[in-house]
Amino acid sequence: MTALSGPGPGSAVVVLPVREGALPLGGADVAWEIGPGGLTVLMGTGCAEAAAALPAALTAWGWDAGPYAPGSWAEQLAPLLRSAGQIVLPASPDGRDLAPRLAAALERPLVAGALEVREGIALVPRWEGASLAEVAVDPRAVVTRLPNTAQMPLPTTLGATYRELSFPLAPPAATPDAELVELIAADPSTVDLSEARRIIAGGAGLGGPEAFELLDRIATALSASLGATRLAADLGWVDGARYIGTTGVTVDPELYVAIGISGAVQHLTGIGDPRHIVAANLDPSCPMMSRAELALVCDVGELLAALAARLEVHAHA
């Protein structure tokens, strides 16, 4: 093992919590945007495997710290990061949990959920994305960045140089941390959309709340989570927590099914880079159809009815 070294005091540091070799949502984007001029530190389980999913131009320092324990991790990381400049984490569930603990341990300000950081100013969505606030950012602040909002596109060549991290720290004192009692499989209908592996989303093309109620039941029958566009949420057809977009929920599923969604830039940015995209729309030339692996030109109401019949689901319980 080796001790941590890098560009020196005041450099930006990216911290990525890792679970079983999987990067957090938005982790690769943040590391690529910040990492070339700073440091990227992975911690958790399977750090070497996670480093293989980062751009090849990066060097990632990994600390196999065991199961996720944000309180203990923050306490152990603090001495290592005292001289660091800005510390950036993705605003994934684990990143949102670790960042405030790290800020408290380092006695630094926290800027949470930033859309963009530039020249000492952070753009932070407010009022469920209805507006953007400009927030002054201390150069030594701890910042969480919303997933899929990096200003630099990821390169196609992956496999960061990996170095195992060690540092002479005593075991942390007793720190309050959540204890894993039992791991229960996520319910697709209630899971945080940012963690959903399958998403079926609807847009204005569905025509009203009744269609969304049916789409919700179809999604449940397919073990998928329900998503929506901002317009559908603003019209009250679906709960605002289901809104996918740059200023809503940003996602990165394995399968994304878009029904009646034309594909505004904000929505397309918010869906990340799914392995498979299926789209259904009457307009064959809309952006969502161009992005899809499978594009169905059809009446989406008829499509929903056919799916409901096939899956034996109904709009009402």
- pLDDT given for residue 129 in this prediction: 64
Rounded alpha-carbon distances, angstroms, from residue 55 to 40, 50, 146: 11, 11, 19
- Chain segment 228-247, per-residue pLDDT in tens: 999 999 999 998 889 998 77
What is the pLDDT, as a whole number, of residue 4? Answer: 54
**Amino acid letter at 293?**
E
CA–CA gap between residue 87 and residue 8 (Å, rounded): 14
| Whether 199 and 156 share a structural domain | no
Mean pLDDT of 75-88: 89
Query: What pLDDT was estimated at residue 217?
Result: 93
Residues 160 and 205 occupy one common structural domain: no
Return mean pLDDT, the chain. 86
Residues 168-194: what's their mean pLDDT? 72
Q: Which domain holds residue 19?
A: 13-164
Domain presence at residue 205: yes
In the predicted structure, residue 254 carries a pLDDT above the cut 70: yes
Residue 58: Cβ within 10 Å count? 21
How confident is the model at residue 2, as a pLDDT?
46
Does residue 226 have a pLDDT over 70?
yes
Work out the angle at residue 69's Cα, subtended by the Cα atoms of residues 46 and 99, and round it to the nearest 5 degrees.
95
What is the pLDDT averaged over residues 131-160? 84
Per-residue confidence (pLDDT) for residue 167, from 0 to 100: 60
Percent of the chain with pLDDT over 90: 50
DSSP 36: G
Q: Which pLDDT score is estimated for 165?
A: 77
- Same-domain status, 221 and 152: no
Please report, for the domain that includes residue 22, its CATH number: 3.40.50.620
Give me the count of residues in the chain.
317
pLDDT at residue 1, as a whole number: 43
Residue 2 resides in a domain: no
R_g (Cα) of the chain, nearest Å: 21
Residue 174 lies in a domain: no
Same domain? 51 vs 94: yes
Question: C-alpha distances in angstroms, 174 versus 46, 69, 129?
Answer: 25, 12, 39
Q: CA 129, CA 55: separation in Å to the nearest integer?
A: 30
| Residue 148 CA from chain centroid, whole number | 7
Last residue of a domain, one of 143, 164, 185: 164
Compute the average pLDDT of residues 116-125.
83
User: pLDDT per residue over 20-50, tens digit each?
Assistant: 999 998 899 899 988 776 789 999 999 999 9
CATH of the domain at 306: 3.40.50.1220
How many independent structural domains does the chain possess? 2
Residue 187 phi, psi dihedral angles, 5° rounding:
-90, 115
**pTM for the full model?**
0.72
Pair 26, 160 in one domain:
yes
